[in-house]
């Protein structure tokens, strides 16, 4: 669960979409039930699954959106706003994400963000861009307090050709934690 006002940057490796939806829903609910804001930057398929689980847990998404306690962004659309020739443009990232985080954190509200833009980059073999994006999230956390959970398919753990980039991803998550490294493995359900 996200911490109080500190930046946590965690990662979940998932084998099944259901596992991801469950973990992300639990992550967001912890903050939303405490008058905070849950933000998803997800693919449509995962966003639909997460939102279904939020509604099953008693969250009225219409009300949550109206009160600013739930924000849903499309990962592809956000990526298209700051990726240039396979590289993450830092200024574009800030223009796309910082207004969302600034607005969500207004009034000292806790903010929990789930993002899978990095997984989309990884799937396109843009692993260096994924590493850069992880670093951009950490830089944003210097300015705004929020917790971030990144989702990657578990198969990234088995591909040795990107071992160095995977180590850099794990290091970015360790660097972005206020309490030390922590990852979540949802591969066993």
Rounded mean pLDDT for each run of 10 residues along the chain, 189 residues in total: 60 92 96 96 97 97 96 97 96 97 94 95 89 91 92 75 58 51 40
The pLDDT value recorded for residue 131 is: 87
Query: φ and ψ at 185, to 5 degrees?
Result: -115, 110
The pLDDT value recorded for residue 159 is: 64
CATH fold of 8-186? Rossmann fold (3.40.50)
The pLDDT value recorded for residue 110 is: 95
Quote the tokens at residue 88. Answer: 């993450």
Domain definitions of the chain by residue range: 8-186
The pLDDT value recorded for residue 154 is: 85
């Amino acid at each position: 669960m996200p911490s109080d006002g500190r930046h946590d940057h965690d990662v979940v490796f998932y084998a099944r979409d259901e596992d991801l939806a469950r973990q992300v829903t639990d992550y967001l609910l912890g903050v939303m039930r405490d008058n905070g804001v849950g933000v998803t930057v997800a693919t449509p398929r995962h966003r639909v699954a997460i939102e279904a689980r939020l509604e099953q847990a008693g969250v009225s998404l219409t009300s949550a959106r109206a009160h600013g306690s739930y924000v849903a962004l499309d990962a592809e659309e956000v990526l298209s706003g700051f990726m240039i020739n396979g590289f993450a443009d830092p200024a574009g990232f800030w223009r796309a994400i910082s207004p969302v985080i600034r607005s969500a954190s207004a009034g000292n509200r806790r903010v929990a963000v789930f993002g899978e833009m990095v997984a989309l980059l990884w799937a396109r073999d843009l692993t260096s861009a994924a590493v850069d994006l992880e670093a951009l999230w950490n830089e944003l956390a210097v300015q705004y307090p929020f917790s971030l959970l990144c989702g990657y398919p578990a198969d990234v753990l088995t591909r040795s050709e990107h071992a160095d980039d995977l180590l850099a991803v794990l290091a970015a998550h360790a660097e972005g934690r206020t309490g030390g490294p922590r990852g979540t493995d949802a591969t066993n359900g």
